[in-house]
Amino acid sequence: MAKFFAVTIIVIAILSAIPILRHTWWMAQDISTHGQAIDEQMSETMAEAGISFLAAQILLAVFIWMFSHSKPGDKIKNFPGGATTMVLGAFLLVGTEVLALGAFGAKAWAKIYFTPPAADALPVQVQAGQFAFYFRYPGPDGKFGPIHPNLVSEANQNFYGIDIDHDADAKDDIVTAEMAVPVNREIHLLMHSKDVGHSFFVPELRVQQDFVPGLDLSVHFTATKIGRYEIVCTQLCGLGHYNMKAYLSVLSQEDYDNWLKKQAALQ
Amino acid sequence: MHETAHAAHQAPTSFIRKHVFSLDHKVIGKQYYGLALVAVMVGMFLSWLMRIHLGWTNFAIPGLHLLSANGAPGNVMTPEYYLQLMTMHATIMVFFVLTTAPFAAFGNYFLPIQVGAEDMPFPRFNMMSFWVTLTAFIVLIASFFVSDGPTLGGWTQYAPLSAVGSVGGPGEGMGVVLWATSIAIFCMGQLLGSLNFITTTLDMRTKGMSMWRLPISSWGWFITSIMGLTAFAVLMPACILLILDHVAGTSFFVPSNLVINDQLQPHAGGSTLLWQHLFWFFGHPEVYIAIVPGMGIVSHVLVANMRRPMLSHRTLIYSFGALAVLSYMVYGHHMFVSGMNPVSSIVFSFPTLIITIPSTIVVLIWLGSLYGARLRINSASLFALGFISMFIAGGVSGFFLAQPSIDIMVHATYFVVGHFHMVMGVAAMFGIFAGTYFWFPKMYGRMMNETLGKVHFWFSFVGTYCIFMPFHYLGLAGNVRRYQAFVVDYMQPLIPLHRFITIAALVTGAAQLIFVFNLFYSRFKGAPAPANPWEATSLEWSTPSSPPPFDNFGGKLPVVYHDPYQYGVEGSTGDYVMQDSPEQIHSVRDEA
Amino acid sequence: MATTVHEPPKLESRPVNVGGSGNFRNMVPAGGLPRTKQQYAPPPASTGIWVALAAIGMTFAALTSALVVRKDGSNDWRHFTLPAILYLNTLILLASSVTLEVARKRVSSFMAAGRVGIANPARWLYLTLGLGFAFVAGQYLAWRQLSAQGLYLATNPSSSFFYVFTAAHALHLIGGLGGLVRVTAKLNTASLRRATLDATSRYWHFMDVLWVYLLLLLWMKL
């Protein structure tokens, strides 16, 4: 049975690795400017994790195979170098490997989070609430009208609680159920939660960020490929969590301008 | 001369004192095991319901409406019911199975015996700890029977969803209060348990039993009990603050200006992230609490079946200690994209990456000990070896999750779910199985059926890989977790893989019934066990009977002369010497 | 039993730290018989009480960090003046630690003298108990004073933490009172062990120190 077990381990290890190597189920295409660093980091990590996984499983299998059929008179052997080899190996190989991953990964992270948005980034606000995303564009004045929580009303379709009668900045705000952005233009996404915790995830954009009620956060990104993508909520927010999604259209500048005009007319 | 626990209680005579309200750590250990067994059957059943629903969302599961008329009208699970079942599955498994069985069950039974004591020093607190834990379980299960059902917020119960009350959704009122009450009670029970484990290990060791002579399983329980002390002591006040937000109108965790169902909520100023910090400060050590006893048990079982001590006993134990210490420094890796300061994310990622080192050392010591060993294959050793394989497989996905930049892509996806199920769920279960097959002969004086054990192993090993390895692929493809159905366009192509997983889960789950049958059958009809069926060396195999007598050693405490694993050493041909044997041999000098 | 390789008996080949209690080196002293750990280990009650105090400390540490985060995270924190009776309560609690220490010393000599010839120290325990109950009563009065000002549990985060901290401390203190009652009863039935008395006293003094810490914390932050 030991030999069968050893073979099973190796078969399972190889079968597990195949879908990874063949990218059978893999990340969506990258349409962002910052995503390449993430994808490179992912490949690096996959290689190291993959090698560690296969090496360790194979070693386990080989040792089970080799040392499970002892005969009377066989002597116990110590692994050459003893535990010292193991400890040194762990520190030197694994330690340097993970620290390198950490250092390079920090660079990728810094590019996203430690650089401020460009001065001419297009501001778009997204509000997450049970169970839909709504987006707000500031209109020609470039300013968002203040949110009045006591005026928020799904029934009246006033999702942001804006007061167009009394707030000048709110008059030209455009609120939509779908998000559209012009291609190759940096977007400054302002994130606001209406009620509980949610999260904004667009795999193609390589962006995932939680909404924190009471804290107004933001991320910034640039989309490089025209197309239609999905925004999904990834922070459990209640019974409709699975259904909380919106479409993101990345459009040419011209198409985007037309779209925005159409949306403005619908306000 | 200090009194020992011997003075505290005499052998009981009534049925109630012997089997129900018992002060005997062995009975308490078995009671915990029974609780964990019931809990795992419930938790597994819930997972079957979840998996069927995920594969076939509109399928009417026969009889489901009997479980909940609201949750499954016409036997089709509602979205909220899925989340409620999921929350209960996780809570039951993490607390009442993974913390209870490897630690409270086996630890209570075997730690006092392995240190050479008659019982733990505080038998009444020990008894209380079980009944408190059982009460916590009952309070949790009670939430199935309140009108709105159990809470649906996940075992992590993030605020403000968990704190706003029933406006947040079904189960978010009474369901949350019962959840938080149950967990606070559970924490109390575990603290009483930790008290006993720590004092037993430090103060109750017999003649000649130094700390380094303790078996690795004892070290596993000892280190875990220290972690439990500090972790559960933080979760308890967090749960109490959460309850206050519900019933007393406070705003610890709920910020101002929340609008739910078009109504402005009355809370003000609370901090959402505060809950996450408190919870994960507990939550990360908790996952090590779930796995370290298993590592200890597996090491102990392996040594007996390899007929040689570990490559380095002390290095292994130092590594367990390093894991425990580091586990407090990494908790922010659950919060990389939570909105906390992005600098904190980088800060937390480094200890998270570094914790790979002691984990690797542990695995390498195991592998290195297999080299040159005289490995015996039986159900216990198969599960112990399977643990190593599963721990490797589950552990390497940690490389990804430790890096914030990669976490952007895999946070809150099935990648995380695959990671923790393999490295903690399945691995810890294998540790429990290994311990059960190994120690059953000592607990009941009978052997478990080896054929059934091996069948159980093969289904479990292959089956759990079939279930959980694909979770990683789903996660890479962006399959978000905690979804009751997949209506998102890009997730449609993933549904066939979900169906494959469901089938694997049902088959593997059914195979667990072989184990349950084996347990009960062997209890009454198993082959009588010799005193030391595995030819093992630690003190539990020196008890005068199986099961051990009331005071473990029949009135005469053993004297320890040897390190715990005097099996064949380099150059010898596999003789073994029990710890309490006065025979002198050429002792292994531990080089660490 | 298995056969062995032949070599002269070697109990220990490393120099061993022989003296002291609670050290974790190999306990087989060179040339001597192995002693039971139980013979020179601290009594389990002593270790146990440190374990319990560690857990209680962690709980209050968690609540402290909750207070700090909650206060600094938003602008709705309203300061208020702590009721003056708290300072009196503090003195009462400190006094109770003094009387408990007196009791402890006298119990030792009382037990050593075989319970004759020395005044029964139980009165010092009763005094400690009385002071302890007075403290709890005083805390209740503080609550009454606060609610008379309109400050309840949910009124403001500052008042919330006041009630949570004082209630948590008082609950643990009441546990300590129970321990003292038990010690007194055992003294009166001549079944009191030194370890029990010491452990209970340590717990009580910790509650004292904890209260002083909490008072400082509340005074600084609230």
Nearest to B483 by CA among B157, B162, B86: B86
Considering only CB atoms, which chain C residues are within 8 Å of B577? 1-2, 4
Q: Which amino acid is at C87?
A: Y
Q: What is the pLDDT of residues B18-72, one digit of tens each?
A: 888 999 999 999 999 999 999 999 999 999 999 999 999 999 999 999 988 889 9
Strands A198-202 and B263-264 turn out to be: unpaired
Task: Please list the residue range(s) of chain C that carry CATH number 1.20.120.80.
Answer: 44-221
User: What is the DSSP-derived secondary structure letter of residue B549?
Assistant: P
In this structure, the answer to whether residues A36 and A147 fall within a common structural domain is no
- Please give the model's pTM, rounded to 2 decimal places: 0.93
Is residue B368 a part of any domain in this protein? yes
Q: Which of B190, B197, B202, B340 to mutate to test the interface with C (most CBs of C within 10 A)?
A: B202
Least confident of B212-216, B577-581, C165-169: B577-581
Reported as a pLDDT band with limits 50, 70 and 90, residue B5 is: very low
Contact between chains at B271 and C5 (C-beta distance less than 8 A): no
* Averaged pLDDT score across all residues of chain B: 94
Question: Per residue in C49-69, pLDDT tens?
Answer: 999 999 999 999 999 999 999
When scoring B265, B585, B587, B588 by the number of chain C Cβ atoms within 10 A, the one with the most, hence best to mutate, is B585
> Which residues, 6 or more positions from B590, have their beta carbon under 8 angstroms from its beta carbon?
B212, B312, B313, B314, B563
Q: How many whole angstroms separate alpha carbon B97 and alpha carbon B38?
A: 9
pLDDT tens track for B402-413: 999 999 999 999
Single out the residue of A168, A86, A189, C175 nearest to residue B366, CA to CA: A86
C11: closest chain B residue by CA = B561
CB contacts under 8 A, C 65-84 vs B, are: 65-66, 69-70, 73-77
User: What's the distance, CA A230 to chain centroid?
Assistant: 13
Residue C37: predicted pLDDT: 59
Q: Is the pLDDT of residue B456 over 80?
A: yes
The total number of residues shown for chain C amounts to: 222
Distance CA A205, CA A225 (A): 10
Give the CA distances from residue B119 to residues A11, A139, B26, B28, in Å, rounded to whole numbers and listed in that order: 47, 75, 9, 11
**In this structure, are A108 and A126 located in the same domain?**
no
Helix (H) or strand (E) holding A190: strand A186-193
Measured in residues, chain B has a length of 592
Report the SS3 class of residue B372. Answer: coil
Q: Domain check: are A187 and A88 in the same one? A: no
Domains in chain A, number? 2
Q: Are residues A133 and A247 in the same domain?
A: yes
| Contacts with A85 from chain B: Cβ below 8 Å | 368
Say yes or no to pLDDT of B570 above 80: no
Task: Look up residue A16 and give its two tokens.
Answer: 């597990």
Supply the pLDDT for residue B4.
43
CB nearest B121 (choices: C9, C37, C44): C44
Nearest chain C Cα distance for residue B118, angstroms: 12
Answer yes or no: is pLDDT of C38 > 70: no
Pick the closest to residue B282 from B419, B187, B149, B160 (CA basis): B187
Question: Of residues C15 and B555, which shows the higher confidence score?
Answer: B555
| B401 located within any domain | yes
Q: Helix C44-73 vs helix C157-188: angle between axes, to the nearest 10 degrees?
A: 170
Query: Who wins on pLDDT, B2 or B418?
Result: B418
CB contact under 8 A, B79 and A242: yes
Is B269 close to C153, i.e. CB distance below 8 A?
no
Cross-chain CB nearest to C195 (options B2, B210, B560): B2
Q: Between C34, C38, C51, which is nearest B4 by CB?
A: C38
Nearest residue on chain B to A130, alpha-carbon basis: B260
Asked if A27 and B403 come within 8 Å (Cβ–Cβ), the reply is: no
According to the model, what pLDDT value does residue B15 have?
87
For residues A89 and A216, state if they share a domain: no
Contact (CB, 8 A) for A146 and A169: yes
Contact: B360, A150; criterion CB under 8 Å: no
Instruction: Look up the CATH number of the domain holding residue A211.
Output: 2.60.40.420
The pair of structure tokens assigned to B151 is: 């809470």
Cα distance from C57 to chain B (closest Cα, Å)?
Answer: 8
Using CA coordinates, name the residue in chain C closest to B120.
C44
Inform me whether the pLDDT recorded for C19 exceeds 90. Answer: no
Q: Which of A59, A154, A210 to mutate to test the interface with B (most CBs of B within 10 A)?
A: A210
Question: Which of B393, B402, B409 is closest, CB to CB, to A42?
Answer: B409
According to DSSP H, which parts of B204-341 are helical? Answer: 216-247, 272-306, 313-326
Cis peptide before B12 (omega within 30 of 0): no
pLDDT value for A226: 97
Q: Which of A12, A38, A217 comes nearest B408 by C-beta?
A: A38
- Min distance A225 CA to chain B CA atoms (Å): 17
Q: Coil, strand or helix: which one is B62?
A: coil
Domains held by chain B: number: 1
Contact C48 B206 (CB under 8 A): no
Strands, sheet with A245-251, edge to edge from the N-terminal-most edge strand:
A179-182, A245-251, A227-232, A198-202, A207-211
Its domain, for residue A15, covers 2-70+78-113
> Which CA distances in Å does B512 have to A124, B52, B84, B93, B295?
53, 18, 24, 15, 21
Tens digits of residue pLDDT in B264-274 = 999 889 999 99
- Alpha-carbon distances of B215 from B539, B565, B572, rounded to whole Å: 9, 8, 21
Residue matched to tokens 């008395």: C197
**Chain C contact probe: residue of B111, B222, B239, B250 with most C CBs at under 10 A:** B250
In a domain, B127, yes or no: yes
Please give the structure tokens belonging to residue C9: 């008996």
The domain C44-221 is placed in CATH, from the list 1.20.120.160, 1.20.120.530, 1.20.1250.20, 1.20.120.80, at: 1.20.120.80
The alpha helices in B477-540, defined as continuous H runs, are 495-525
Query: pLDDT tens for residues B312-333?
Result: 999 999 999 999 999 999 999 9
**Best residue in B190, B219, B234, B570 for a mutation probing chain C (most C CBs within 10 Å):** B234
Per-block average pLDDT, block size 10, for chain A (267 residues)?
A: 96 97 96 95 95 96 93 83 86 91 93 93 96 95 93 93 92 95 97 97 97 94 97 97 97 97 93
Answer whether residue B429 is part of any domain: yes
C115 pLDDT more than 90: no
Q: In terms of domains, do A178 and A224 share one?
A: yes
- Give the pLDDT of residue B164: 95
Q: Given this model, what pLDDT does residue B1 score?
A: 32
Q: Which of B80, B358, B478 sits opposite A203 (nearest CB)?
A: B478
So what's the pLDDT on residue C11? Answer: 39
Q: Using the beta-carbon criterion (under 8 Å), do A25 and B376 form an inter-chain contact?
A: no
Task: Assess whether the previous peptide bond of B222 is cis (omega < 30° from 0).
Answer: no
For residue C191, the model assigns a pLDDT of 85
Name the nearest CA neighbour of C180 among C117, C85, C59, C93: C93
pLDDT at position C2: 38
What is the pairing mode between strands A245-251 and A174-176?
A: unpaired
Q: Are strands A132-137 and A174-176 parallel, antiparallel or unpaired?
A: antiparallel
CA dist., res. A32 & res. A105, Å (int):
17
Q: How confident is the model at residue C183 (pLDDT cuts 50, 70, 90)?
A: very high
What's the start-to-end Cα distance of chain A, in Å?
Answer: 72
A155 and A131 together in one domain = yes
User: What burial class does residue B588 get, using C-beta atoms within 10 Å of its C-beta: 0-12 exposed, 13-18 middle, 19+ buried?
Assistant: buried
Contact B181, B209 (CB under 8 A): no
Residues B56/B58/B61/B64 CA torsion (nearest 10 deg) = 130
pLDDT at C20 over 80: no
How much is the pLDDT for A85? 83
- Closest-CA residue of A relative to B497 is A25
Contacts of B365 in chain A (CB under 8 A): 83, 86
- Can you name the residues that pair with B108 across neighbouring β-strands? none
Cβ neighbours of residue B514 closer than 8 Å, sequence gap 6 or more: B452, B455, B456, B459
Which DSSP state fits A79?
A: P
**CB–CB contact B233 C56 (8 Å):** yes
Greater confidence (C113 vs B562) lies with B562
> Quick check: B590 pLDDT over 50?
no
Closest approach of chain B CAs to the CA of A172, in angstroms? 23
pLDDT exceeds cutoff 80 at B101? yes
A-to-B residue pairs, Cβ atoms closer than 8 angstroms = 334
Strand order in the sheet with A132-137: A174-176, A132-137, A122-129, A186-193, A217-222
Name which of B385, B387, B371 is nearest B425 in CA terms. Answer: B387
C61 contacts in chain B (CB < 8 Å):
234
C179 alpha carbon, distance to own chain's centre: 10
**B248: which chain C residues are within 8 Å (Cβ-Cβ)?**
153-154
Name chain A contacts of B367, Cβ cutoff 8 Å.
56, 59-60, 63
Confidence of residue C31 (pLDDT cuts 50, 70, 90): very low
**Residue B458 pLDDT > 50, yes or no?**
yes
Nearest Cβ partner for C76 among B236, B268, B578: B268
* CATH number of the domain within which B509 lies: 1.20.210.10
Are A207 and B371 in contact (CB < 8 Å)?
no
Q: Which of B158, B260, B567 sits opposite A130 (nearest CB)?
A: B260
Question: Which candidate from C35, C42, C59 shows the least CB-CB separation from B236?
Answer: C59
Q: Where are the alpha helices (DSSP H) in B20-76?
A: 25-55, 64-67
Report whether B367 contacts B379 (CB < 8 A). Answer: no
Q: Do B233 and C11 touch (CB under 8 A)?
A: no
pLDDT of residue B569 exceeding 80, the answer is no
The confidence score (pLDDT) of residue B592 equals: 31
Region B4-10: mean pLDDT is: 51
Q: Is the pLDDT of residue B109 over 70?
A: yes
Verify whether the Cβ–Cβ distance A60 to B389 is below 8 Å: yes
In the predicted structure, residue B428 carries a pLDDT above the cut 80: yes
Residue C95 has pLDDT above 80, yes or no: yes
Residues facing residue A189 across a β-bridge: A124, A219
CA A141 to chain B, closest CA, distance in angstroms equals: 26
CB contact under 8 A, B241 and C27: no
Is A101 found in the same domain as A25? Answer: yes
**What interface predicted TM-score (ipTM) does this complex get?**
0.96
Judged against a pLDDT cut of 60, whether residue C17 lies above it is answered with no
pLDDT number for residue A58:
98
Chain A: closest CA distance from residue B355 (Å): 9
CB C170 within 8 A of CB C136: yes
φ and ψ of B569, to 5 deg: -110, 175
- Strand, helix or coil for residue A213: coil
